[in-house]
Every structure is written in structure tokens, then in C-alpha cells.
Structure 1
Amino acid sequence: MIEFLVFIKLTIAITFVIGLSVLAEHVSPKVAGILSGYPTGSAITLFFFGLEVSPDYAAKSAVFNMVGLSASLTFVYAYYIASKYFNKYNIILSSLSAIASYFLVVWVLHHIKINTYMAILIPILFSFLYLYLFKNIKDINITNKAKLSYKTLFVRAFFAALIILLITSVPKFVGPTWAGLFSAFPTTLFPLMLIIHMTYSKAHVHTVIKNVPIGMFSLIIYSLTVSIVYPMYGIYWGTLISFATATLYLLIYKKVRSVIDKFKYAVKVKSK
């Protein structure tokens, strides 16, 4: 049974990270950035919390997962700032800065008494804050795409697999508060950022980072839904319902964004 769970974790991790990296290359880093906020890593982690411990444990962890998303956003911001100013050992120092920032925010949050309302409000405020701080980043598409060899696919899979296994092992050693906070670690986003940065440039990874806060709202909705429906319907139906609510947000965002873009275009044409 343990070996089967490990296999499932690895398979899901590999699929998500490779899928997002290919999406960044063949569609755009902007789209990959938005979808990286889709409940992938957190969904896997919370699901296995429910499977390996209990649905109630996962539901409690989901509340702190929402708060932990603030640390996740700080993670990408720290990576962005570090990658802007470090030239030598850019990727290593950016990664270390991001990880240190994540754990610093998690440590601070652990000392705050959190209720459900605060758990919703804090990551929403952080999302709007980082949307503002990232507003001047340019969206850059990938033109010279890297050839996907078996070696490239293996390296991409390795990062995701390692991080997923580490984070989903947390509930065996800590309570739901810490487990929930750690479950917000960007398990699929971090490997994606490393892949894009190593394969292309920091400008491309900055495009991914710029669009993460937009997708982060789907994660907030997902975790909130998990906290409500897991105890009521169990982890299987609860996961389907939670994914449905997160997907609905992205569909609504896409529609609203399309209307806004059409309106801006119409105004621009009329002004000419």
C-alpha cells in the first residue's frame, strides 16, 4: 500500500510539472503562471493528508493551507527580487532566498491565532499586494523552445517528485497547523520556476511569477471548499467538488478578462 501511494504521488507530480513546463513553452509563461496557482500541489498534499490520516485532519489543515498561501506568494516575490539583483549563482541564491522567505512567513503565521475568516482574508490581501508589486513585469513569450529529451523530462520530473514526497510526509511528524502551513509550499510551482529559469532566462520566469497571484485565488477557493466538504462528503467527492469550485473561478476569470480586453480594444480603436 505504501509503495502504491508513493507511485501515485510521483506520477501526479511528474504529470503536473511537465505539463506546466510544456504549456509555458508552447502557449505562454503567462498562462503557465496563472495555472500554476490551480490546486495541484496543495490538492495532492491535502488529499493524501485525508487518505493517510483522516478527512477531518485534512479539513483542518486546509484552513491553515489558505493562510500558508501568503507564504507561497512571498516565496515567489523573494525569488523575483533575488533573481533581479543577483548575477552570479542567480538560480541558487534566488531559490535559497525564496525558501528562507517562505519559512520565515510560515514561522510568523504559526504564532498567530487563526480563524476561518482570517484564513480567507490574509491570502486575499497578499494576492492583491503582489498583483500590485508585479504590475510592471512584462509578459514575455518563449520563442526558441528547448528540445524535450528524455534527460530533460527526467530532470523536470525529479524536482517535483522530491518536493511532493517531502511535503506530504509532514503530517506524520507534526500537527494539522504546521502540516497545513507546509502544505501551501509551491510544490509544482517551484520546480516549474527552476525549469523555466534554467532552460531559458529570468525574464521568462518573471512572466510566470507575475501571473501567480491571479491563479492563487483558485487555490484559496479550493482550500476553503476542502475545509467545508471533506468532513461532509469524504476525500473523493470532496476533492471533486473542490476542483469544481476552483475551476469555476478560472472560467469566470477568463470570461471577465476577455470582456475587459475587448472593451479596452474598442476604446483604443475609437480613440484613433
Structure 2
Amino acid sequence: MGSFAFQVLQAFLIAGFWIAGATLLAERLGSKAGGAIANLPSTILVALVYVAIVQTPAYAADAALAAPLGMAVNTLFLFLFVVMLKFHLIWALFTSLAFWFAMAGTISLVGDITVLFSLSFYFIAMGSAFYLLEYRLKIPSAGKQSRTFRWWALFVRAGFAGTVVATTVVISTFANSFWTGIFSTFPAVMLSTMTILTISQGAKFAQAVGKTMVLASINIVIYAIAVHYFYDAIGVLWGTIIAFLLAVLFIVLIRPYLLRMK
């Protein structure tokens, strides 16, 4: 097997089972802690590492700058998914995915987008989505789930998330850094988590996890900005480690607020 194909396969396996394990924790820990852990950098982490290997660290660092914009779209995607779940899972999937691709396509036509604009757009989108879910729609948090775990769910999550990351690595070979960055934030974790949790634990638990994931998405933006600066300065390995630790630190800092959520 060629080196490129092997790298794609590695990205598929590592990302897929990492994300599958994180979503399993969400079920075991409840919507507050579980949603925060499930939304730690995973797809973007593996995708950007392998983009750095297949392309260059500088290319991956540039791609990371598109992440805040991608996460802005993702928080709106997740908000729409949570709202539409009250009708049916199929409606939630269809409307949220259609929205994501429409937004990504629209953004691609805008032209040069500054980091300041991306960050501003993200915080407005995330703040508005979380405010509506927590204080207007009043989506309640949920505790640990006691339903029987299904192994097929683990492999479905692994397969879906792994496919997205592997596709991102392939796209990086012919797409520009902007589209690579956008696809590195494709809501694989959000989509697979919300779908599987709805099927296995019910819509209300999935909505509770989704609310937490909206707020916790800030850690992914922190991770992406750190990658942009650290990949060139200290290399991919240490840049990834330090960026991930900063993302974890953010989750630790907001834990008191998560515990007070409704």
C-alpha cells in the first residue's frame, strides 16, 4: 500500500475510533461533562496533523485559520439540528446539512476573509445560538444514561467520523488551504454524536448534549488559532500537544458554569 493511501487509512482509523470513544463518554457522564468532552478537538486535530504530513506544516497552519469561520457555521448547524429534532431526526439531518453546505458555498464566494471577521462571526453565532438554547428555548440538561450500549453504534460513529477526516486529507491534495480548513471543521463529531444519541438515548438527551457542545465549541477555535502559531514555531508534534492542552484548559475553566446550567 502506497504511503499516501496508508496515511489516509491511519487518519480514518485514529479519528474514527477516537470520536466514537468520546461520544460513548457523553452517554456515560451526562450531557454537561459528556458534551464538553465529546467536542474536544478530534476531527480537526487529526485532519490538520495529516494535512501537515501530506502537504507541509505551513499549509496546515494556514488551513487552521479557516477553522473559526467553519466553527461559526457549525454552531448554527448544531442549533438548527437541536431545534429541528422536535419534529423528527430526518428533518434535523436534512435541514442542518443543507444549511451547512449552503453556508460553506456562500462563504467560498466572499473572497478574502480576515481572521478578525472570522472570529467575530464565530462569537456572534455561538453566543446567539447558546443564548437561545439555554435562555429562550430552555433546553434542559440531562444526567447519565442507563440504556444498554450498542456496539454497532460505536462502529457507525467510527466509520462516519473516520470517513470525513480521511476525505479531508484527500481534499488537501488538490484544494486550497481555505477549503481544507473548512472541511477540517466539518461537523462530523456533532452530526454523528447527535444522530446516534437520538437513536440510542432519545431526542431530549441529544438536544441537551447539543446545547453543551455549542458553548464548548470555543475550545476548537482556541485549538485552531494555537495550531496556526505553533506549527511553524515549534513543529507539528509539540504544536499539536500544546494546542490540545490549551483546549482542555478552556473546558476546565468553564466547568463551574457548565455545572450551573439548567
Structure 2 match to 1:162: 163
Distance 1:65 1:209, change over 3 A: same
1:142 Cα offset (Å): 4.6
Please list every run of 5 or more consecutive structure 2 residues that lacks an aligned counterpart in the other structure. Answer: none
Please show how residues 1-272 of structure 1 align to structure 2 within 5 Å. Answer: 1-85=3-87, 90-110=88-108, 111-135=110-134, 136-149=138-151, 151-254=152-255, 256-257=256-257, 261=260
Matched residues in 2 for 1:49 and 1:100: separation? 26
Distance 1:4 1:120, change over 3 A: same
Matched residues in 2 for 1:112 and 1:216: separation? 25
8 Å CA contact 1:37–1:217 kept in 2: the answer is: no
Please list every run of 5 or more consecutive structure 1 residues that lacks an aligned counterpart in the other structure. Answer: 265-272
Who wins on radius of gyration, i.e. which is larger?
1
User: Does 65-74 or 12-21 show the bigger shift?
Assistant: 12-21
8 Å CA contact 1:37–1:214 kept in 2: the answer is: no
Matched residues in 2 for 1:169 and 1:92: separation? 29
State the TM-score, normalizing by the size of structure 1: 0.86
Distance 1:3 1:168, change over 3 A: closer
User: Does 91-100 or 220-229 show the bigger shift?
Assistant: 91-100
Distance 1:112 1:139, change over 3 A: farther
8 Å CA contact 2:30–2:145 kept in 1: the answer is: no
CA deviations on 1:83-107 (whole Å, 9 max, x unpaired) are: 223xxxx323321211111112222
Distance 1:84 1:152, change over 3 A: closer
Matched residues in 1 for 2:120 and 2:146: separation? 41
CA deviations on 1:145-204 (whole Å, 9 max, x unpaired) are: 22344x343333222222222233221221011111221111222211111011121111
| Percentage of matched positions with identical amino acids | 22
8 Å CA contact 1:30–1:139 kept in 2: the answer is: yes
1:172 is paired with a residue whose SS is: coil
Counterpart amino acid of residue 118 in structure 1: F
Distance 1:116 1:143, change over 3 A: closer
8 Å CA contact 1:16–1:188 kept in 2: the answer is: no
State the TM-score, normalizing by the size of structure 2: 0.89
1:113 is paired with a residue whose SS is: coil
Matched residues in 1 for 2:215 and 2:107: separation? 22
Aligned length, in residue pairs: 255
1:119 Cα offset (Å): 2.4
8 Å CA contact 1:36–1:215 kept in 2: the answer is: no
Matched residues in 2 for 1:165 and 1:49: separation? 10
1:112 Cα offset (Å): 4.8
User: Does 232-241 or 217-226 show the bigger shift?
Assistant: 232-241
1:165 is paired with a residue whose SS is: helix
Matched residues in 1 for 2:131 and 2:26: separation? 23
Distance 1:112 1:128, change over 3 A: farther
2:141 is paired with a residue whose SS is: coil
